[in-house]
């Protein structure tokens, strides 16, 4: 059931948002170095991904999305 609603592990950390590990493991080989985040109004936001051995993060561009939509932890 959990895989139908992929989410995020951690809140903003140094301007990055970590993608849940099961999502990163399942799709990590298929992810490009950047992604387009599509929001409900159809706008597309380019965001670069950063990877380590155990994590995948939304990084460059993510803070722009978070600030524009007033996203906060909680």
Give 2's pLDDT tier (boundaries 50, 70, 90). very low
23 token code pair: 């999502």
Architecture of domain 2-68: Beta Barrel (2.40)
**Per-residue confidence at 66, pLDDT binned at 50, 70, 90?**
confident
For the whole prediction, is pTM greater than 0.75? no
Closest CA to 18 of 6, 2, 30, 29: 6
Phi, psi of 63 (to 5 degrees): -65, -35
Rg (CA), the chain: 12
Q: Which H/E stretch holds residue 1?
A: none
Name 68's Cβ contacts closer than 8 Å, sequence gap at least 6. none
Give the pLDDT confidence score for residue 72 in this predicted structure. Answer: 74
Structure confidence by residue, pLDDT tens digits, 8-37: 555 566 778 888 777 777 777 777 888 899
The share of the chain scoring above pLDDT 90, in percent, equals 22
* Domain ranges (residues) in the chain: 2-68
């Amino acid at each position: 059931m959990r895989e139908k609603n992929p989410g995020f592990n951690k809140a903003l950390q140094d301007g990055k948002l970590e993608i849940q590990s099961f999502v990163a493991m399942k799709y990590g080989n298929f992810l490009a170095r950047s992604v387009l985040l599509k929001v409900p109004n159809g706008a597309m936001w380019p965001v670069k991904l950063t990877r380590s051995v155990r994590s995948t993060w939304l990084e460059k561009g993510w803070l722009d999305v978070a600030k524009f939509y007033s996203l906060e932890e909680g």
